[in-house]
């Protein structure tokens, strides 16, 4: 029998006194796609980081092709043929793709000769796997999904036999996501093993050969997705069946009132030196949002929907048009900022990848008041700290944020639990208008369901919710209305009830054809 | 960012280990100069704590260290490195001297608040310049503060050679403040309470320094501004998200920091020398960096570190006085080594300490029944 491409044995890792990984054993067969699922904070990301040497466990061994290897840092992992894709890789923006890939590889004096050889190898890999970019293109010309492909190419060039991916589809449009999945299949065909963590069960169910289920730091089950249904898979993970799309019972015949009116809004970009041409990152944005309504903003990367959300939140200035919130009209000026927007009853959940919404080094009870801290300080010294801790603990219990200890550092929580904390903080303020960027990014299916229930409740109580997302399931489940963006403009508004997932996917795909 | 997954026990052990290393290195350097180490240590200890007078001087010096340590630490919490303590203290002293000379003859009950206010104001204004340049013109605060130290010192020399020069004096000193305008010494405070202690320069500034420490603790962890200061220090993006005006925070923080360091002037000029001379700050402003590092930017830690530094300063002077071969530089040597080990090499021992403390935790875990 072939020895596994990658094997982790008896891995134990503590964070403070919490057991993040408890005697985890994992075997990845050569040339297979191996998925890991589990609730937020189950230890999935920690396990991947152990395999790539980003975290050193207290116990445990790693075997590659049956040979024990010592992986203490990512360089060891790369040398052993393990590559990992990161959500937030930093690139040298103004250098070419090939320079970015070879970064850190130049050792020795005669780099040009090595570069010529590397270029050949890379060109060969590009042909083999169908990467469409030119090696001399500047990194700044690439969008997020293309950068991800460059990252994969880099791993392949370094001789990765096992590729680790943590939530690779989180920021991709459906089309890009499909493209990535095709590539993974191709890699698998070439004998490369893939270890993937994702919250989209349907995708994992579709592409994986084996799926491991993790819960509370333990690996509880290995299953063959061909033998079980998708519904059963979600049941395995959260202990109950989850139906998709989530039932959204729209309450009709409520007196809805105008909450937000945006007219002619635009952002003129500062022109670069030497060019007199004006460019707009957003232009002619006109739409209204009523109370009792959830509106989704979507589009491809850099279509402008994310910028618009930041503008509405007061995080980004606008240069043209008007924003009217509850009857108060705002012109482009410094007056409309985050602080002001909050006073108007607007709450904002920023993109979890930016880390804006939290302070990693603060204890949770201090992160839990970020942005709303103006009202949280009183002169009563002893009472206020305990009061804040108690409030935070109650909120964490209500939203199932684990571990339930407000004294922990925010950075010690898993990404999903951090996101839940931000959602909890903003939703619990009962805002009149809630703005969210990629709200369910990093949340497991169980958490998503309970978050949606709260959002529906918030809407039914009269609030308006606007969110931007690339996730079709999320848009179909959560929104009452969808607004489509392309190149900084609105290209269509639809009622979600009258739309199928397929229609939406086609509309997004058509943009590409048109462009 | 740095101390992720470092439990508090480890962090205390780490601090103590760093201080220990710094002191060990000092001992090694001293022994290389041919000093009898045992005798030197006992002389330092005796000089600092052995006599009532020594203790008085120790706390007197500690007062300066507390003020400058608090100032540096506060700026640090907002992510700013204020190394302009020398200049801010110089200006603080200038403010005290001017107000005491101008208001000579005023009741002490009115003069003390007035001199404290001016002291703080002068220090704050001196810190406002680099703060504004940093917030609104993106200048590097490390460079501007250090340059303003030189300007402050030249400015003081200019004034002491001209406008403030005492008539009939050759030296560049101001006219003496009247004895009636001096801050009450601790001797008179204790005498009022019925205790009898010897006369030292120790004065009520020490009590004010303790009040400032408590105040800073309250400010940082129990007020909105303090919270905003710490958010700004941790992440610009989070501060923006929270609707905090970072520029405003930078200016407020630096001004309070400058005011705190300015109080060195209060202790030195109105508390002890009753005269403004060219170099009364004598490195206390810079030493605040070492104190803040050793005290881990925590007001309580700073008070403890200041007393240690005060003891080294007093004991060291005693040693320098008694031993021919040792100059006053020994204090700067120790300060430098503390900055090196508690600042620059702060995390050097972290892996070692984590390694040594790990078996304890694992054995504790092993005692629990498995599953």
**DSSP secondary structure, A437-459, as one string:** ESTTTT--HHHHHHHHHHHHHHH
Give the pLDDT confidence of B155-199 residue by residue, as tens digits: 999 999 888 888 877 778 888 888 888 899 998 898 999 888 888
Give A491's DSSP letter: E
Question: CA separation (Å) from B56 to A35, B49, B53, B185, B214?
Answer: 69, 9, 5, 10, 22
Beta bridge partner(s), residue B107: none
Q: Which of B78, B236, B243 is the mutation pick for testing A, counting most A CBs within 10 A?
A: B243
Quote the pTM value: 0.82
Please judge whether B237 and A354 are an interchain contact, meaning their C-beta atoms are less than 8 angstroms apart. Answer: yes
Residues of B in contact with A58 (CB under 8 A): 358, 362
Helix, strand, coil shares of chain B, percent, nearest 5, are 75, 0, 25
Instruction: Please say whether the dihedral angle defined by the alpha carbons of residues A44, A50, A55 and A56, taken in this order, is positive or negative.
Output: positive
Query: Is B371 in the A-facing interface, judged by CB distances under 8 Å?
Result: no
User: Which residues of chain A have a CB within 8 Å of the CB of B230?
Assistant: 359, 362
Decide if A91 touches B, using CB distance below 8 A: no
Which runs of E-coded beta strand occur in B38-123?
A: none
Kindly determine whether residue A360 and residue B240, on different chains, have CB atoms separated by under 8 Å: no
Q: Are A163 and A195 in contact (CB under 8 A)?
A: yes
Q: Least CA distance to B6: which residue of chain A?
A: A16
Query: How many Å apart are CA A310 and CA A348, to the nearest integer?
Result: 9
Contact B362 A58 (CB under 8 A): yes
- Interchain contact, B238 vs A361, CB within 8 Å: no
Q: Give the nearest chain A residue to B1 (CA atoms).
A: A361
The neighbouring-strand residues paired with A263 are A322
Q: Output the pLDDT for position B3.
A: 38
Top residue of B236, B238, B297 to mutate, by most chain A CBs within 10 Å, is B238
The pLDDT value given to residue A252:
63
Please tell me the least confidently modeled range out of A103-117, A428-442, B27-41, B253-267: A103-117
| Cβ contact A377–B222 (<8 Å) | yes
Interface contact B237, partner A, CB < 8 A: yes
CA B329/CA A169 separation, integer angstroms: 62
Q: Are the C-beta atoms of residues A258 and A292 closer than 8 Å to each other?
A: no
Task: Label residue B364 by pLDDT band (50, 70, 90).
Answer: very low
Task: Check if B9 contacts A (Cβ < 8 Å).
Answer: no
Distance (Å) of CA A103 to CA A181, B196, B366: 27, 72, 45
Q: How far apart are CA B335 and CA B337, in angstroms?
A: 5
- Number of compact structural domains in chain B: 1
Residue A382 Ramachandran class (φ > 0 left, ψ -120 to 50 alpha, else beta): alpha
Contact flag B242-A361 (C-beta cutoff 8 Å): no
> B16: distance to nearest CA of chain A, Å?
21
Q: How many CB pairs under 8 A join A and B?
A: 73
Looking at domain A250-320+442-515, what is its CATH homologous superfamily? P-loop containing nucleotide triphosphate hydrolases (3.40.50.300)
Q: How far apart are CA B222 and CA B108, in angstroms?
A: 33
Q: B358 and A16: CB-CB below 8 Å?
A: no
Three-state SS at A195: strand
Residue B367 has pLDDT above 60, yes or no: no
| Rounded alpha-carbon distances, angstroms, from residue A292 to A27, A182, A466 | 49, 40, 11
Q: What is the pLDDT of residues B311-361, one digit of tens each?
A: 988 988 888 888 777 777 777 788 788 888 887 888 888 888 877 776 544
Q: How many whole angstroms separate alpha carbon B366 and alpha carbon B370?
A: 8
Within chain B, what is the greatest distance between any pair of CA atoms? Answer: 87
Task: Please tell me which residue of chain B has the smallest CA distance to A388.
Answer: B222
By residue range, what is the domain housing residue B234? 17-356
Cα separation, B324 vs A28, whole angstroms: 73
Long-range Cβ contact pairs of B352-360 (< 8 A, separation 24 or more): B353/B10, B353/B13, B353/B14, B353/B17, B354/B6, B354/B10, B357/B9, B357/B10, B357/B13, B358/A58
pLDDT value of residue A41:
81
Contact across the interface for B243 and A381, Cβ inside 8 Å: no
Q: Which of A14, A15, A370 sits opposite B231 (nearest CB)?
A: A370
CB atoms B5 and A315 under 8 Å = no
For A337, which of B1, B218, B243 is closest by C-beta distance?
A: B243
Residue B255 lies in a domain: yes
Q: What is the pLDDT of residue A378?
A: 74
B358 lies within 8 A of chain A by CB: yes
The alpha carbon of residue A257 is apart from the nearest alpha carbon of chain B, in Å, by: 28
Q: How far is A205 from chain B (nearest CA, A)?
A: 31
pLDDT by residue for chain A (515 residues), tens only, comes to 678 999 999 999 887 777 889 899 999 999 999 999 888 888 888 899 999 998 889 889 999 998 999 888 888 898 899 999 877 777 888 888 888 888 766 555 566 667 788 888 888 888 888 888 888 888 888 888 888 889 899 888 888 899 999 888 877 777 788 889 999 999 999 899 999 998 888 888 889 999 999 888 889 889 898 888 887 887 777 766 666 566 666 666 667 788 999 999 999 877 555 555 567 888 899 999 998 999 999 987 778 899 999 999 999 999 999 999 988 889 887 778 898 899 999 999 998 888 899 998 899 999 999 988 888 787 676 778 888 899 999 999 999 888 888 988 898 888 889 999 999 999 998 899 999 998 888 888 888 888 999 999 999 898 999 999 888 888 888 999 999 998 888 988 998 888 888 888 778 766 544 43
Instruction: Report the candidate in A84, A342, A214, A371 with the shortest Cα–Cα distance to residue B242.
Output: A371
Is B236 an interface residue toward A (CB < 8 Å)? no
Does the beta-carbon distance from A357 to B238 stay under 8 Å? Answer: yes
Domain ranges of chain A: 6-238, 250-320+442-515, 346-430
Of B5, B242, B365, the CB nearest to A371: B242
**Interchain CB distance below 8 Å, A377 and B358:** no
Per the domain annotation, does B129 fall within a domain? yes
> Whole-angstrom Cα distance, residue A188 to residue A196?
12
The answer to whether the CB atoms of B223 and A371 lie below 8 A apart is no
Reported as a single tens digit per residue, the pLDDT across A284-327 is 999 999 989 999 999 877 788 999 999 999 999 999 999 999 88
CB-CB: which of A16, A17, A359 is closest to B235? Answer: A359
> Domain for residue B274, yes or no?
yes
* Interface contact flag, A16 B7, Cβ < 8 Å: yes
By 3-state DSSP, what share of chain A in percent is helix, strand and coil, each rounded to 5?
35, 25, 35
Comparing CA positions, the residue from B132, B77, B142 lying closest to residue B251 is B132
A49 shares contact with chain B (CB less than 8 Å) = no
Residue B24 belongs to a domain: yes
Instruction: For residue B237, list chain A residues with Cβ-Cβ distance below 8 A.
Output: 354-356
Average pLDDT, chain B: 88
Angle at A378 between CA A373 and CA A379, to 5 degrees: 145
**Mean pLDDT, chain A, integer:** 85
Residue B210 pLDDT > 70 = yes
Asked, for residue B243, whether it belongs to a domain, the answer is yes
Residues of B in contact with A366 (CB under 8 A): 227
**Nearest-angstrom CA–CA distance, A421 and A435:** 15
pLDDT score for A446: 83
Question: By CA distance, what is A374's nearest residue in B?
Answer: B224
H/E stretch holding A314: none
Closest chain B residue to A384 measured between Cα atoms? B222
Q: What pLDDT is attached to residue B4?
A: 41
Any idea what DSSP says for residue A320? Answer: E
- Residue A349 to residue A355: CA distance in whole angstroms: 11
pLDDT of residue B366: 42
- Interface check for B268 against chain A (CB to CB < 8 A): the answer is no
Any chain A CB within 8 A of the CB of B296? no
Interface of A with B in 325-364 (CB under 8 A): 337-339, 342, 348, 350, 354-362
pLDDT of residue A110: 60
Contacts of A17 in chain B (CB under 8 A): 361
Which carries the bigger pLDDT value, residue B255 or residue A274? Answer: B255
Rounded Cα gap, residues A433 and A427, in angstroms? 10
A112 vs A501: CA distance, rounded Å: 50
**CATH number for the domain that contains residue B269:** 1.10.3470
Give B-chain residues touching A337 at CB under 8 angstroms. 243
Q: In terms of CA atoms, which chain A residue is nearest residue B358? A: A58
Fold of A6-238: Rossmann fold (3.40.50)
- Chain B contact for A373, CB < 8 A? yes
A18 touches chain B (CB under 8 A): no
The dihedral sign for the CA sequence A297, A298, A299, A304 = positive
Which pLDDT belongs to residue B362? 44
If phi > 0 it is left, if psi is from -120 to 50 it is alpha, else beta; for residue A159 that is left
**pLDDT reading at B365 higher than 50:** no
Residue A337, min C-alpha distance to chain B (Å): 7
pLDDT at residue B233 is higher than 90: yes
Q: Which residues from chain A sit within 8 angstroms of residue B238, using beta carbons?
A: 355-359, 370
């Amino acid at each position: 029998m072939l020895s596994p491409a990658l094997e982790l044995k008896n891995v134990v890792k503590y964070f403070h006194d919490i057991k993040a990984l408890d005697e985890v054993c994992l075997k990845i067969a050569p040339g297979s796609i191996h998925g890991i699922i589990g609730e937020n904070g189950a230890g999935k990301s920690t396990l991947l980081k152990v395999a790539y040497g980003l975290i050193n466990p207290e116990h445990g061994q790693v075997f590659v092709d049956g040979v024990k290897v010592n992986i203490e840092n990512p360089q060891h992992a790369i040398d052993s043929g393990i590559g990992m894709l990161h959500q937030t890789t930093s690139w040298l923006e103004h250098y070419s793709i090939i320079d970015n890939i070879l970064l850190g590889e130049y050792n020795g004096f005669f780099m040009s000769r090595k570069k010529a050889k590397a270029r050949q190898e890379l060109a060969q890999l590009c042909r083999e796997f169908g990467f469409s970019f030119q090696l001399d293109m500047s990194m700044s010309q690439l969008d997020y999904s293309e950068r991800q492909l460059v990252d994969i190419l880099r791993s392949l060039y370094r001789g990765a036999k096992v590729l680790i991916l943590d939530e690779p589809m989180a920021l991709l449009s459906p089309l890009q996501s499909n493209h990535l999945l095709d590539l993974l299949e191709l890699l698998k065909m070439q004998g490369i093993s893939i270890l993937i963590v994702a919250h989209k069960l349907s995708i994992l169910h579709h592409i994986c050969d084996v799926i491991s289920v993790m819960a509370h730091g333990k690996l509880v089950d290995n299953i063959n997705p061909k033998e079980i249904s998708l519904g059963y898979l979600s049941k395995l993970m959260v202990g109950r069946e989850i139906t998709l799309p989530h039932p959204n019972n729209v309450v009709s015949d409520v007196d809805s009132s105008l909450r937000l009116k945006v007219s002619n809004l635009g952002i003129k970009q500062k022109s670069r030196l030497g060019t007199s041409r004006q460019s707009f990152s957003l232009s002619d944005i006109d739409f209204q949002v009523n109370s009792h309504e959830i509106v989704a903003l979507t589009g491809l990367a850099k279509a402008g929907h994310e910028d618009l959300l930041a503008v509405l939140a007061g995080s980004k200035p606008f240069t043209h048009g008007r924003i009217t919130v509850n009857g108060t009209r705002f012109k482009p000026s410094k007056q409309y900022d985050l602080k002001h927007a909050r006073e108007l009853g607007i709450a904002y959940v920023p993109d979890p990848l930016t880390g804006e919404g939290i302070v990693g080094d603060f204890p949770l009870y201090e992160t839990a008041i970020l942005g709303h801290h103006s009202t949280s300080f009183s002169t009563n010294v002893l009472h206020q700290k305990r009061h804040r801790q108690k409030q935070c603990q109650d909120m964490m219990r209500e939203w199932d944020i684990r571990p339930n200890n407000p004294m922990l550092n925010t950075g010690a929580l898993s990404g999903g639990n951090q996101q839940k904390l931000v959602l909890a903080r903003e939703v619990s303020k009962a805002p009149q208008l809630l703005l969210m960027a990629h709200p369910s990014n990093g949340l497991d299916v169980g958490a998503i369901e309970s978050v949606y229930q709260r959002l529906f409740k918030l809407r039914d109580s009269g609030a308006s919710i606007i969110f931007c997302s690339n996730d079709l399931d999320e848009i179909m489940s959560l929104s009452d209305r969808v607004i489509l963006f392309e190149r900084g403009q609105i290209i269509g508004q639809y009622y979600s009830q009258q739309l199928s997932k397929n229609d939406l996917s086609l509309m997004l795909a058509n943009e590409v054809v048109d462009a | 960012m740095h101390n992720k997954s470092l439990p508090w026990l480890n962090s205390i052990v780490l601090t103590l280990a760093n201080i220990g290393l710094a002191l060990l290195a000092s001992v090694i350097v001293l022994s290389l100069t041919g000093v009898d180490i045992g005798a030197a240590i006992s002389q330092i200890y005796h000089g600092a704590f052995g006599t009532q007078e020594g203790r008085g001087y120790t706390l007197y010096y500690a007062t300066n260290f507390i003020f400058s340590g608090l100032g540096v630490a506060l700026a640090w919490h907002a992510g700013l490195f204020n190394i302009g303590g020398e200049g801010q203290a110089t200006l603080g002293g200038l403010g005290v001297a001017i107000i005491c000379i101008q208001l000579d003859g005023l009741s002490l009950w009115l003069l003390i608040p007035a001199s404290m206010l001016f002291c703080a104001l002068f220090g704050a204004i001196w810190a406002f310049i680099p703060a504004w340049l940093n917030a609104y013109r993106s200048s590097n605060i490390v460079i501007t503060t250090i340059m303003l130290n030189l300007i402050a010192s030249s400015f003081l020399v200019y004034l002491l050679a001209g406008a403030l020069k005492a008539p009939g004096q050759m030296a560049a000193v101001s006219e003496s403040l009247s004895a009636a305008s001096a801050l009450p010494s601790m001797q008179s405070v204790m005498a009022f309470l019925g205790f009898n202690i010897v006369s030292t320069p120790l004065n009520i500034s020490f009590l004010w320094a303790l009040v400032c420490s408590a105040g800073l603790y309250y400010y940082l962890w129990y007020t909105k501004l303090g919270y905003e200061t710490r958010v700004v220090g941790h992440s610009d993006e989070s501060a923006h998200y929270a609707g905090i005006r970072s520029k405003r925070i930078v200016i407020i923080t630096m001004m309070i920091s400058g005011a705190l360091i300015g109080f060195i002037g209060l202790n030195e000029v109105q508390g002890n020398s009753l005269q403004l001379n060219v170099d009364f700050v004598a490195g206390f402003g810079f030493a605040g960096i070492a104190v803040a590092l050793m005290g881990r930017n925590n007001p309580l830690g700073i008070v403890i570190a200041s007393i240690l530094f005060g003891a080294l300063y007093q004991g060291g002077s005693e040693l320098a006085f008694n031993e021919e071969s040792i100059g006053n530089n020994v204090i700067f040597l120790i300060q430098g080594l503390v900055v090196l080990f508690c600042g620059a090499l702060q995390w050097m021992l972290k892996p070692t300490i984590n390694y040594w403390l790990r078996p304890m935790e694992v054995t504790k875990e092993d005692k629990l029944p498995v599953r």
